[in-house]
Structures are given as C-alpha cells and as structure tokens.
C-alpha cells in the first residue's frame, strides 16, 4: 500500500520548506519531496535561494565589499594595510560552506518538525496522488489529502547566447568562477546582473552590462533609479541601455573568449557593435519550473507564461492542490514564497491567514543597497493621488558620515489628505534593513506623523527614515526636503 500523508509538498525551496515546516507545526502528517542533489550526491534542500540564489550571492557580495573596503576605505579610517589580494577559491569555498550549513539546517528543521524528507522527483498524477521517481529510477506513489506545489523557477534563456556554464554562464555559473574575469559581459541590468556584476567588478573585472530596455530599473522609483545608475556607473559598471544581443560566438576550450554582437542606440539610429569578453553572464529573468511536475489530465491550469494559476490564497484550479512561490504569479522573491507557504499551511488548518501583496519589499543588494516598498512617485502620479514626499540624504546623517558611507537617500511618500505612508524608497547603507521598519509601519497603516513621533536611537542610520517622515510634513530637523504632488 502507498504511504499516506495529510500534506505532501513538492519542492523544498523557501516556499516549500516554510509550508512543510508550518504544516508539521500544525500537526499535519507531512512530507516534502526534493529532487536536487548537491555535488556530493546528497539531497540539497532549500531550493534556488539557499543553493544558488539569495545566500551564495550575498556571501560573494559580502566578501567583495570587504575587499573594496580593505582596498579603498581602510586608509580613510587611518588603517594601513598592504595591498589586499583576493583568493577566489577561498572566497568560493567560504560561500560553499555557508550554503552547506544552511541547506543541512533545513534537513534538521524537517526532523525537528516531524516532516518526512523524500529524495526524488515528485509528479502530481491525480488529485491526492503523487508519483515519486527516486534517483535510482525506481518509482512509487504516495497519497496525500492536500498537495502543495512549490517547484520554483529556473533561469530564462535566449537563443543568441546559449549557456554552456564555461564561457557563457547563467547566475549559477557566475557564482563559481575560479578566477576574476578580466572582461565580464552581463546580459540584463536587472537584480542578478547588478548584484553579480558588482561582485566581479569589485574584485577587478571590467564589467559591461547589456540591457535591452531604454530605462534603467524601470520598476524602481525614477529618482532612486537615477541615483543608482550614477553610483553604479562610478563603481565601474558600464551599463549600456537599449542594447540587444544579436549573436555570440565562443572559441573552443574551457578558457575561450566569447565574441558578442549587439545593436545599441546612437541618437536616433541603432548601431551594430561587437565586444569580446572572457565570461558572459546571461541574467534576463527566470521562468516557472513545471517540467515533469504535473500530469495534464489532473487539470491544474497554467497561465500563458507557464505559471501555475492560483487565486490570492494560492489555490489552483484543482481542489486540495495549492501552489506557491516562484512557480506562481507575483515577484520571484524568497520572502514572498515563504509567506505564501505559511499562508497555505495555516489555511489548511482553518486559519484565515493572508499575504499582503501590496507590501512585498524589493531589495537589490548592491552597495549602496536599493530597497523599496509600496507605491513610487510615478505610480501615484499616474493614479492621480495627492501626496507629500519627504527626502532625507544620508550625507546629513551623522552615523552615515561616521561610517564614511553616506551616498543615497531615504524617500518617504505619504498621502496628502490622510498622511498615511504610501511608499518608501531607499538607496543607501543598509537600505534593506532600514526599509523593514517602514514595512512594519505600513502594515499597521501608520502615518508619516506616527513615524515622526516615534523615538529613534541616536546615532543610527534609522534616523534617516525618521527625518524623511518629518520632511514629508515639512519639518525635518536636518536638511531633509519636502515636495507636494497633486
């Protein structure tokens, strides 16, 4: 007889492992199926995020930022060191250690919460029935009252730059270079392009970013995007907007270069160009991963872009089948998937949990970081909302100056009639962590005045948020300024 569970989760990424652990906590007999194997042939829990995404990229960002500080910042603080040298294999080794620790941690959390981990590939073959294909090819079935699909996403590709993981790599390959490329090309000036481009630029690569769109970071507030483009340009990222890659050609062998042909705009004309790179990263977005996940006869519907169709509660078109994380609509972010996974588990237990899709924070972990939540100036203007803006530059923050890290600003937007905070957009030191206090404030429908009346420790970077809130109502103490838009 096949094994029976209350809940079976397919995929152990942030969405899946949060769903599984919460189901375990709520007393459901739960299993989580994961097919990913690491280099040692062990099941790799934690999905893209822990294995080849959020965590390893941040490990490299942190190392490369320390290298930059040792190279350029220490002397400003009066610290003399001999010229730092980057040991790339040691950097990658440290990254791998962090990944190992965290992925093994997920296995430990499964044990602690009585979640059965099943190594193999899961396929939904009927409502309530999952077929597992083990790594030796053997197959068996497991039954579940409820099934949660959390299969995640994989990098998108373009035919003009086929990934070989040697010379032309995707985000996964770009986490494992064995040496710093001299000339690095990046296709796509999105989150991955900017983060991984920054890593290798800091370590000495000459980085050229080829972006198809004419606008830089079109999803961000325009003022923040303009500031980011200026700062990243100064750091050496050569960002070419309105650029389309038309062809690539790699030579033979592991260390061959790649020749890239592209068109870019010069005034009104599209010009043909060519560049040679020793590595090329393709970072043009990700796509939902549903390969071998679903028997079409079950009737789980996909949308026109291949995402599993769900409602706000992550219910699919088939009763008792849920889906969450990157495999469904919405931003492809770990924290969005985590919250969805928890919501699904709690709803299965009869709770009324929800995800507030209006308050999903976005962060780009460059230096300085870029972070935002809620509506931006352009969106509110288009919507005809009457609002106030408070801007506070980090150059007026005592703590930022003390740290010699004072580029950027906090921009807080509040409704002109109700003073309710509608959005916050930050570029600056620790922007991601600073933003979180505004996310909490917005979750509680705070006004800019509420934030202004709150006491902030001195001297902290957080005071920039305080001052931006005061500035929105026209009375920042330092040099914040206010704009009214009707």
- By CB under 6 A, name the binding residues for ligand FAD: 10-16, 33-36, 47-49, 53-54, 57, 121-122, 150-153, 171, 192, 289, 292-293, 325-327, 332-335, 337, 365
Q: Which stretch binds ligand NAD (CB under 6 A): 116-124, 208-216, 352-360, 407-415?
A: 208-216
Q: Using alpha carbons, select from 446, 439, 217, 444 the residue that is nearest to residue 335.
A: 439
163 binds ligand NAD (CB under 6 A): no
- Cβ proximity to ligand NAD: between 281 and 471 the closer is 281
Pairwise CA distance, residues 173 & 60, whole Å: 13
Which one of ligand NAD, ligand FAD, none interacts with residue 368, CB within 5 to 8 A by kind? Answer: none
User: Residue 90 — φ and ψ, nearest 5°?
Assistant: -70, -40
Q: Using alpha carbons, select from 175, 198, 210, 362 the residue that is nearest to residue 284.
A: 210
Binders of ligand NAD: how many residues, by CB under 6 A? 25
Pairwise CA distance, residues 195 & 188, whole Å: 11
Q: Which residue is nearest to ligand NAD (CB)?
A: 190
- Cβ proximity to ligand FAD: between 155 and 423 the closer is 155
Count CB-CB contacts under 10 A for residue 79.
Answer: 10
Give whole-number Cα distances, 58 to 234, 372, 391, in Å.
21, 18, 28
For the CB of residue 48, give the shortest distance to ligand NAD in the complex, in Å: 8
Which one of ligand NAD, ligand FAD, none interacts with residue 283, CB within 5 to 8 A by kind? Answer: ligand NAD
- Cβ proximity to ligand NAD: between 363 and 464 the closer is 363
Residue from 23, 149, 186, 189 touching ligand NAD (CB under 6 A): that is 189
- Cβ proximity to ligand NAD: between 333 and 471 the closer is 333
Pair 120, 135: CB distance under 8 Å? yes
365 binds ligand NAD (CB under 6 A): yes
Q: Left if phi > 0, otherwise alpha if psi is -120 to 50, otherwise beta: which for 74?
A: alpha
Residue from 14, 56, 190, 393 touching ligand NAD (CB under 6 A): that is 190
Which one of ligand NAD, ligand FAD, none interacts with residue 233, CB within 5 to 8 A by kind? Answer: none
185 binds ligand NAD (CB under 6 A): no
- Cβ proximity to ligand NAD: between 156 and 479 the closer is 156
Binding marks (x or -) toward ligand NAD, 302..331, rule CB under 6 A?
A: -----------------------------x
Which one of ligand FAD, ligand NAD, none interacts with residue 202, CB within 5 to 8 A by kind? Answer: none
364 binds ligand NAD (CB under 6 A): yes
Pair 390, 448: CB distance under 8 Å? yes
Give whole-number Cα distances, 290 to 293, 301, 390, 395, 431, in Å.
5, 11, 44, 47, 34
What are the start-end ranges of the E strands in 87-205? 115-119, 121-126, 129-133, 139-149, 153-155, 168-169, 183-187
For the CB of residue 258, give the shortest distance to ligand FAD in the complex, in Å: 20
Looking at residues 269 to 308 of the shown chain, list those that interact with ligand NAD (rule: CB under 6 A). 283-286
For the CB of residue 18, give the shortest distance to ligand FAD in the complex, in Å: 8
For the CB of residue 153, give the shortest distance to ligand FAD in the complex, in Å: 5
For the CB of residue 72, give the shortest distance to ligand FAD in the complex, in Å: 25
The number of angstroms, rounded, from the C-alpha of 287 to the middle of its chain's C-alpha atoms is 14
88 binds ligand NAD (CB under 6 A): no
Pairwise CA distance, residues 311 & 322, whole Å: 10
Which one of ligand NAD, ligand FAD, none interacts with residue 284, CB within 5 to 8 A by kind? Answer: ligand NAD
For the CB of residue 367, give the shortest distance to ligand NAD in the complex, in Å: 13
Residue 285's Cβ-count burial label (10 Å; 0-12, 13-18, 19+) is middle
Residue 78 in 3-state DSSP?
coil
Q: Which stretch binds ligand NAD (CB under 6 A): 144-152, 175-183, 206-214, 387-395?
A: 206-214
Structure tokens at 464: 């920039």
> Which residues are part of the catalytic machinery?
458
User: Residue 25 — φ and ψ, nearest 5°?
Assistant: -60, -35
Which one of ligand NAD, ligand FAD, none interacts with residue 151, CB within 5 to 8 A by kind? Answer: ligand FAD
Count CB-CB contacts under 10 A for residue 199.
Answer: 28
Q: Is the bond leading into 368 cis (omega within 30 degrees of zero)?
A: yes
Q: Using alpha carbons, select from 477, 264, 345, 436 the residue that is nearest to residue 22.
A: 345
Residue 368 in 3-state DSSP?
coil
Q: Residues of 362-377 as b/e, b for ≥16 C-beta within 10 angstroms? A: bbbbbbbbbbbbbbbb
Q: Which stretch binds ligand NAD (CB under 6 A): 357-365, 372-380, 433-441, 461-469?
A: 357-365
245 binds ligand NAD (CB under 6 A): yes
Residue from 52, 323, 332, 371 touching ligand NAD (CB under 6 A): that is 332
Q: Which stretch binds ligand NAD (CB under 6 A): 25-33, 187-195, 198-206, 448-456?
A: 187-195
Kindly list the residues in this chain that would bind ligand NAD in the complex (CB under 6 A).
158, 187-193, 195, 210-213, 244-245, 283-286, 331-333, 363-365
């Amino acid at each position: 007889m096949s094994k029976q569970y209350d809940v079976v989760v397919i995929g152990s990424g942030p969405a899946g492992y949060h769903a599984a652990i919460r189901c375990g906590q709520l007393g459901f007999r739960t299993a989580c199926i994961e097919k990913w194997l690491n280099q040692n042939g062990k099941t790799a829990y934690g999905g893209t995020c822990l294995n080849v995404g959020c965590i390893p990229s941040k490990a490299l960002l942190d190392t490369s930022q320390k290298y930059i500080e040792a190279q350029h910042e220490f002397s400003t603080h009066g610290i003399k060191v001999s010229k730092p040298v980057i040991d790339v294999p040691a950097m990658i080794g440290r990254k791998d250690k962090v990944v190992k620790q965290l992925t093994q941690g997920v296995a430990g959390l499964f044990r602690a919460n009585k979640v059965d981990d099943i190594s193999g590939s899961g396929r939904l073959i009927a409502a309530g029935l999952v077929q597992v294909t083990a790594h030796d090819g053997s197959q068996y079935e497991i039954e579940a009252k409820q099934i949660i699909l959390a299969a995640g996403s994989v990098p998108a590709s373009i035919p003009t730059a086929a990934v070989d993981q040697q010379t032309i790599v995707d985000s996964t390959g770009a986490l494992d270079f064995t040496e710093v490329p001299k000339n690095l090309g990046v296709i796509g000036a999105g989150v991955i392009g900017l983060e991984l481009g920054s890593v290798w630029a800091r370590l000495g690569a000459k980085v050229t970013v080829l972006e198809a769109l004419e606008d830089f970071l079109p999803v961000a507030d325009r003022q923040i995007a303009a500031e980011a483009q200026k700062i990243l340009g100064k750091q050496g990222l050569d960002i070419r907007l309105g650029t389309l890659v038309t062809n690539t050609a790699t030579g033979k062998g592991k260390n061959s270069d790649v020749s890239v042909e592209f068109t870019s705009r010069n005034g009104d004309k599209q010009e043909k160009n060519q560049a040679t790179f020793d590595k090329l990263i393709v970072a043009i977005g990700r796509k939902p991963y549903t390969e071998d996940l679903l028997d079409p006869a079950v009737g789980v519907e996909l949308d026109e872009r291949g995402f599993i169709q769900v409602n706000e509660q992550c219910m699919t078109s088939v009763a008792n089948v849920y889906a969450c994380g990157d495999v469904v609509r919405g931003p492809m972010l770990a924290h969005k998937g985590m919250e969805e996974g928890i919501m699904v588990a709690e709803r299965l237990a009869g709770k009324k949990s929800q995800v507030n899709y209006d308050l999903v924070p976005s962060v780009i972990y460059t230096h300085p970081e870029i972070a935002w939540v809620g509506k931006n100036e352009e969106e509110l203007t288009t919507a005809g909302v009457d609002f106030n803006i408070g801007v506070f530059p980090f150059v007026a923050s005592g703590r930022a100056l003390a740290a010699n890290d004072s580029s950027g600003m906090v921009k807080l937007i509040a409704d002109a009639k109700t003073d309710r905070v509608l959005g916050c957009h930050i570029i600056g030191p620790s922007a991601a962590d600073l933003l979180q206090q505004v996310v909490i404030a917005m979750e509680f429908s705070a006004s800019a005045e509420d934030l202004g009346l709150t006491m902030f420790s001195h001297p902290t970077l957080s005071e920039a948020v305080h001052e931006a809130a005061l500035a929105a109502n026209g009375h920042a103490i330092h040099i914040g300024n206010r704009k009214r838009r009707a």
